[in-house]
Structure 1
Amino acid sequence: MKKILVMAALAICSFANAQKGTILVGGSIGYTSEKSEFRFTEAKASTFTFSPKVGYQFHENWTVGGELSLSSTDVDNPNEKYKDNKFRTGGFVRYTKSLSQTFSVFADMGAGFQTVKNKDYAANNSYVRYKGDGAYVDVTPALFINMKKGFGLNFSIGGLGYETLSYDDNGEDYSNFYFNFGKTFNIGISKNF
């Protein structure tokens, strides 16, 4: 029995060390849907997101790298419709804790710059454009499932963060703290080389 436990411990340690010094390539797609009341009318917002990442795993638990994110949000209520297109670029730090050879949990902390373009559709089918630039910081916990040879699936259901935007043409400045656990679902794949 002791030999089996020692062999299992060595296997887990060798799995964790095999990732050190590797390049992490991954990406995720996500979907968010929210309903809210605004001025006594119900609004529905749907967001689709694509987020690729590349990083270097310099320690068995730590990875650092760069990230991009492209997202599109459609908001629809009885009085107006508008669409946001957001582009983010920045860096991330990931801490990973291996639970077994198959499962790990990790948390990504990302920070960087963002650009948003809005189209606000008026009642007469015309629209107004707005553009804003700002910064973001967020933390996202997730689950990693090792499929085979460093390929894995990543799952997350939200996180928390803070973002700012400053709109052109003397538009309003915007800042938002968000906590979206349970409102977002992301699934992704990753590979260590």
Structure 2
Amino acid sequence: MKKMLLILALSVFGFANAQKGTILVGGNIGYSSNKIEREMAPSKNTTFQFSPKVGYQFHDNWTVGAEFSLVSSKSTIEEGEGKATNFKAGAFVRYTVPLSETFSVFADLGAGFQNQKDKIYENGVLTSEGKGDGLYAGITPALFINMKKGFGLNFSIGGLGYETMSYDATDADVKSFYFNFGKTINIGISKNF
């Protein structure tokens, strides 16, 4: 448990409390793995995520920029295996309110395009393949704590979002709405250059 908390704290990076006219670079790196031991159908799932952001603070409170996300996951159940790759590219706008020299709150509003590719294998042979395209939008509020010399910590506890995905092979249209406040916790380290 301690290793997982350390990995979480070190792998999630955010933006610093920036100043007008500065370039901001940040993002998230994440990894998760779970294994279910069952007699009949043991399974294992692993996921890796990389989500960088680059922004420009054009006002004391406003930042605009580009965001990118790549998520790769793999699942195994008995002799079957599934692989999925999700790619997102879009833009974000951030509004920051300083509460003191130490604390600030901010909210990121992001929207863009997403693409997903799925492959399913049985005994090492590709049995099905799917591809989907869609859009996403989401808002994430967070707290920034300025530690010293531009270094700080970012804390968020979820967000609100909407996603669409249209799959070509099955003609399925999927629409998702999520509200996960309190369900996820992100801790980040940030630096303003």
CA distance in 2, matches of 1:120, 1:181: 33
| Equivalence for 2:5 | none
- C-alpha root-mean-square deviation of aligned residues, in Å? 3.0
Partners of 1:183 and 1:44 lie apart in 2 by: 22
**Which residue of structure 2 aligns with residue 9 of structure 1?**
none
SS of structure 2 residue aligned to 1:184? coil
Deviation of 1:74 after TM superposition, in Å, equals 4.0
Distance in 1 of aligned mates of 2:60 and 2:129: 46
Paired AA for residue 24 in structure 2:
L
Greater radius of gyration (CA): 1
Structure 1 position 175, deviation (Å)? 1.4
TM-score, normalised by the number of residues in structure 1: 0.73
Q: How does 1:17-28 map to 2 (within 5 A)?
A: 19-28=19-28
| 1:101 has 2:107 as partner | no
Q: Secondary structure of 1:116's match? A: strand
The one-letter code of the counterpart of 1:156 is S
Distance of 1:87 and 1:120 partners within structure 2 = 18
Residues 66 and 77 (structure 1), Cα distance of their counterparts in 2 relative to 1, 3 Å cut? same
1:148-163 alignment runs, 5 A limit: 148-163=148-163
Give how far 1:186 is off: 2.9
TM normalised by structure 2 equals 0.73
Task: Tell me what 2:10 maps to.
Answer: none
Gap change, CA 1:46 and 1:143, over 3 Å in 2: farther
**Structure 2 counterparts to residues 23-172 of structure 1, below 5 A:** 23-30=23-30, 47-75=47-75, 81-122=81-122, 124-127=123-126, 128-172=128-172
Q: Which moved more, 1:156-165 or 1:141-150?
A: 141-150
Structure 1: distance between partners of 2:141 and 2:31: 16
- Shift in CA distance, 184/45, structure 1 to aligned 2, threshold 3 Å: farther
Distance 1:86 1:30, change over 3 A: same
Q: Give the counterpart letter for 1:104 in structure 2.
A: S
Alpha-carbon spacing, 1:143–1:114, altered in 2? closer, same or farther (3 Å): same
1:40-69: per-residue Cα shift (whole Å, max 9, x none)?
x9x986643221111111221111111111
1:113–1:135 Cα contact (<8 Å) kept: yes
108-117 vs 70-79, greater mean Cα deviation: 70-79
Q: Give me the whole-angstrom Cα distance separating, in 2, the residues matched to 1:177 and 1:137.
A: 10
- How far apart, in 2, do the equivalents of 1:131 and 1:173 lie? 12
Tell me: CA distance 1:55–1:186, structure 2 relative to 1, closer, same or farther (3 Å): same
C-alpha deviation, 1:115, in angstroms: 1.0
- What letter is aligned with 1:84? A
